[in-house]
Amino acid sequence: MNRAPRGTTGTTPFARLLEMLRPDLLRFASWLARDRSVAEDVVQETLIRAWKSRDELKDQAALRPWLFTIARREHARLYERKRLPTVDVDEVEALGDPALATEGDAALDDLRRAIMQLPDEYREPLVMQVLGGLSTAEIARELGLSQPAVLTRLFRARNRLRGIYGLEPAEDVE
């Protein structure tokens, strides 16, 4: 097989880091796409791009948000380029996707279901923040939004989940 050169500076550690983050990346892409097959394609493209652009990553501590940002772009690109059909939540439910499956913690399943059913504009920044570790400024830059707009979306995302968690929803923000 045509392996990338090993033994060159940073190659092996970088590969190990990618390998380490791959499960989280796949999880992230799965939440974005709500489809494991699409998510796997997104991750594959992401890793290819990350590998090709590895010299651009100056600080390895920023690898995680960097990778997740690439994944989000690949996901968006995939939908734009291939005009994939959007995923219908009812269909997802019928297919028994993860957020909707039962594992003995009913409250957690309810929360997963609620996250899955969040509108994309709320779910995407939430997943970027919680799973991807991106700051609100990074999310704003990535989504092409103002930071206040991102704050509002994240606030509303969590506010919708408060009720599921048994908390009183907060007063909405403008």
Partner 1 sequence: MSATGPECREARLHIGAAPHELPAAVQSHVAGCAACQRFLDETRGLDGRVRQALEVPLTRFRERAAPRRWYAMAASVVLALVIAGGVWFVRPQSALAGEVVSHIEHEAGSWEQTGRLPGSDFAAVLEQAGVQIDLSVPVVYAAACIFRGHRVPHFVVTTASGPVTVMVLPHEKIRMRSRFSESGMHGVLVPVNEGSIAIVARNGEVPESLAAQLAGGVHW
Residues making contact with partner 1 (CB under 8 A) = 1-4, 6, 11-12, 14-15, 18-19, 22-23, 26-27, 30-31, 35-41, 44-45, 47-48, 51, 78, 82, 84, 95-99, 101, 103, 107-108, 111-112, 115, 126-127, 129-131, 135-136, 150-155, 158-159, 161-162, 165, 167-171, 173
- Residue 62 or 167 having the CB closest to partner 1: 167
Nearer to partner 1, 69 or 132 (CB): 132
Query: Considering beta carbons, is residue 54 or 69 the nearer one to partner 1?
Result: 54
CB of 53 to partner 1, least distance (A): 13
Nearer to partner 1, 69 or 157 (CB): 157
Exposed, middle or buried: residue 66 (CB in 10 Å: 0-12, 13-18, 19+)? Answer: buried
Residue 149, judged by CB atoms within 10 A of its CB (0-12, 13-18, 19+), counts as middle
| Rounded-to-integer distance, Cα 109 and Cα 115, Å | 10
Q: Tokens 């690439």, residue?
A: 70
Neighbours of 39 (CB within 10 A): 21
In the complex with partner 1, the residue whose CB is nearer, 48 or 62, is 48
Q: Minimum Å distance from CB 66 to partner 1?
A: 16
Q: Compute the least distance from the CB of residue 58 to partner 1, in Å.
A: 19
Distance CA 11, CA 96 (A): 39
Nearest approach in angstroms of CB 166 to partner 1 is 9
Q: Are 29 and 45 in contact, with CB atoms under 8 Å apart? A: no
CB 172 within 8 A of CB 99: no
